[in-house]
Amino acid sequence: MHWQTTNNDANAVASASLRLPPDLQAIFEQNYPRFSDAEYARRQAGMARAMEAVGADHALIVTMQNVGNATRWMTGWPGTAEALLLFQPGERLTMFVEYYNHLPLARQMARDTEVRWGEEQGLARAIEELKRRGARRIGVIGPLSGPRWEALGAQFEVVSLDADYTTLRLVKSEEEIAWLRIGAALSDAGMAALVAGTRAGMTEHELGNMVERAFVGHGGTHVIHFIGSTPMAAPDVCVPRQFTSRRKIEAGDFVFCELSAAWWDYSGQVLRGFTVEAEPTSLYRDLHAAAYEAFQSITKAIRPGALPQSLIDASGIIEESGFTTYDDLVHGFGGGYLPPILGSKSRPAGQMPTFPLEENMCLVVQPNVITRDFKAGVQFGELVRVTATGFESLHRTPHGMFTAGQAI
């Protein structure tokens, strides 16, 4: 009963934190929101250019068990169990959907698309349609692999367009930025509920439930809530865990969270930490100070034309303070976990990307500053947009280290 009272209070804080302006509120109030005709035309034109570059006359866009978001980007239909979308420039879209009971909503949500039942053999139906059209070279986007790729390749020339699709998602339109702002507001609501509602005695599972209750009732969807909790006096967690546990929160704990809630396919990402019934120890003050300063330095380096290496160079305060990182320092976001994916000087990521930043790229700047023995850590950051002159945060969660029970 005590938890329920706390949860209700936290959700009241979360609801108030949305505060969407009228233009975003109009999008938010739609049952199944859709972009403008001009926005979908922009996407189809980009897809057509990618196909032309590789000589493809059709694209087969695949979603399987909710994996593969290009179907949603092109039509508005999330994909569910299976969706096989055929795109031919200048022609109406055709999509084969499983299961049969998914057809009514798919036909309602998928824009300007002929939706057909896949009959539990959707790829065969798609191949039949492609052969009827005289298709020769097919560009594939999404999780089509193994025998299914071979079956398609036995009938047509096949080429992957996955990398081309990723490139199409890097620079956002103004309409996409608007949807990301809603995702950020929902994520902020989750963080506000977490900070306000956390009490000693609650389990990590209960924290996760409290986070989701803050936005699911508003039409938001859960993406991630990675939560770490550990005693500051004897820490043993340096990066938020991907799955919550039955561990109970105790006085003297530090709790930190990487949180993403989405408005359909458009998610925010906010990362903060807070103490429970205690002031931060000197170690946690130092960790947070390094993370905050790194965030400020990195975001000051963001501008069109900046190279990814310059963002890593800007994070040197982490190593100068005697710390390192575990998680990625920066990554692209909005339509997937996108390039550039950057590690720190002391914990590099993969191959260094060399392309410059462009206006309306979106990045998560998220310094996860940790001790070199991997026992203690903090994480601080959020989703930002590259502007013509620098950067803009898409979030409203205040900057700082919080205290459990605090309204933010």
How far is 84 from 135, CA to CA, in rounded Å?
16
What integer is the mean pLDDT of 153-157?
98
pLDDT given for residue 145 in this prediction? 86
Q: Are strands 137-141 and 58-64 parallel, antiparallel or unpaired?
A: parallel
User: How far is Cα of residue 232 from the mean position of the Cα atoms in its chain?
Assistant: 29
Question: CATH class for domain 2-15+172-403?
Answer: alpha beta
Q: Are strands 369-370 and 113-117 parallel, antiparallel or unpaired?
A: unpaired
pLDDT given for residue 2 in this prediction? 44
Half-sphere exposure of 30 (CA within 13 A, CB side): 13
**How confident is residue 11, by pLDDT bands cut at 50, 70 and 90?**
low
How far is 56 from 161, CA to CA, in rounded Å?
10
pLDDT given for residue 3 in this prediction? 45
Write out the two tokens for 132.
């009827």
Yes or no: say if 134 and 155 are a contact pair by the CB < 8 Å rule.
no
Per-residue pLDDT of 217-272, as tens digits, reads 999 999 999 999 999 999 999 999 999 999 999 999 999 999 999 999 999 999 99
Q: Cα-flanking dihedrals φ and ψ of residue 248, to 5°? A: -90, 140
In this prediction the pTM is 0.94
Q: Supply the DSSP symbol for 291.
A: H
Please tell me which residue, 292 or 7, carries the higher pLDDT value: 292
How far is 44 from 63, CA to CA, in rounded Å?
18
Mean pLDDT score across all residues of the chain: 95
**How confident is residue 12, by pLDDT bands cut at 50, 70 and 90?**
low
Q: Are strands 391-393 and 381-386 parallel, antiparallel or unpaired?
A: antiparallel
Indicate if the pLDDT at residue 7 is higher than 80.
no
Q: Are strands 381-386 and 270-275 parallel, antiparallel or unpaired?
A: antiparallel
Per-residue pLDDT of 286-334, as tens digits, reads 999 999 999 999 999 999 999 999 999 999 999 999 999 999 999 999 9
SS3 319: helix
Topology of domain 37-169 in CATH is Creatine Amidinohydrolase; Chain A, domain 1 (3.40.350)
What integer is the mean pLDDT of 354-374?
98
How far is 266 from 26, CA to CA, in rounded Å?
16
pLDDT given for residue 18 in this prediction? 85
| 91 contacts: CB under 8 Å, gap ≥ 6 | none
Q: Cα-flanking dihedrals φ and ψ of residue 77, to 5°? A: -90, 125
| Sheet strands (E) in 42-160 | 58-64, 82-87, 93-98, 113-117, 137-141, 157-160
pLDDT given for residue 159 in this prediction? 98
**How confident is residue 9, by pLDDT bands cut at 50, 70 and 90?**
low
Quick count: other Cβ atoms within 10 Å of Cβ 279?
A: 11
**How confident is residue 283, by pLDDT bands cut at 50, 70 and 90?**
very high
Residue ranges of domains in the chain: 2-15+172-403, 37-169
Please tell me which residue, 258 or 145, carries the higher pLDDT value: 258
| Residue with tokens 């909503």, as numbered in its chain | 105
Yes or no: say if 170 and 362 are a contact pair by the CB < 8 Å rule.
no
What integer is the mean pLDDT of 139-166?
97
Per-residue pLDDT of 72-125, as tens digits, reads 999 999 999 999 999 999 999 999 999 999 999 999 999 999 999 999 999 999
Per-residue pLDDT of 41-82, as tens digits, reads 999 999 999 999 999 999 999 999 999 999 999 999 999 999
**How confident is residue 19, by pLDDT bands cut at 50, 70 and 90?**
confident
Query: What are the CA-CA distances from residue 122 to residues 74, 83, 86, 96, 140 (Å)?
Result: 19, 8, 12, 6, 15
pLDDT given for residue 5 in this prediction? 45
Indicate if the pLDDT at residue 359 is higher than 80.
yes
